[in-house]
Amino acid sequence: MSDTAVPDGNKLVFELKTGKVVIELRPDLAPLAAERLKLLASEGFYDGVKFHRVIEGFMAQGGDPTGTGTSGSSYPDLKAEFTNAAKFERGTVGMARTMAPNSANSQFFIMFAASPHLNGQYTIVGQVTEGMEYVDQLKRGSGAGGVVKDPDTIVKAYVEA
């Protein structure tokens, strides 16, 4: 485990080359996932990490240090925290996972548009409250998988009180 203290605030900030994205984390819905994102941001894990999968009209995915979509942090995977108390709408932040429900780790995705088919199937960990226009400017991928060539990155990630 880490020696890093998890910050108190629930505002996760991603500085992109175009501007600052502020995400209001939802520990009321997903306490484990919110804690994980705050811990990783405070450790510098997300600094320089790519948005490796970006699908027009759907979502932008990041959080894999290898930029391939197949890796995560050294921490154990998280238990699923599915809810019906919130929906996948524009700006919703969810935890990416494999087909196994309890496999979320460090990867997340930010919705460009509502996607009701994800409701109750993926952990909702937050909502973009500022800077969605900068998420909209992320370089898009191609093909069904949305893999991005020379993707945009998170310049710096941190937690604000």
Res 2: pLDDT: 52
Instruction: Tell me what pLDDT residue 50 has.
Output: 98
Q: Rounded mean pLDDT of 127-139?
A: 98
| CATH of region 11-160 | 2.40.100.10
Which pLDDT value is given to residue 62? 98
**pLDDT at res. 3:** 60
117 — pLDDT class (breaks 50, 70, 90): very high
The domains of the chain are located at 11-160
For residue 7, name the pLDDT band (cuts at 50, 70, 90). Answer: confident
Reported as a single tens digit per residue, the pLDDT across 53-92 is 999 999 999 999 999 999 999 999 999 999 999 999 999 9
Extract the tokens encoding 106: 């460090």
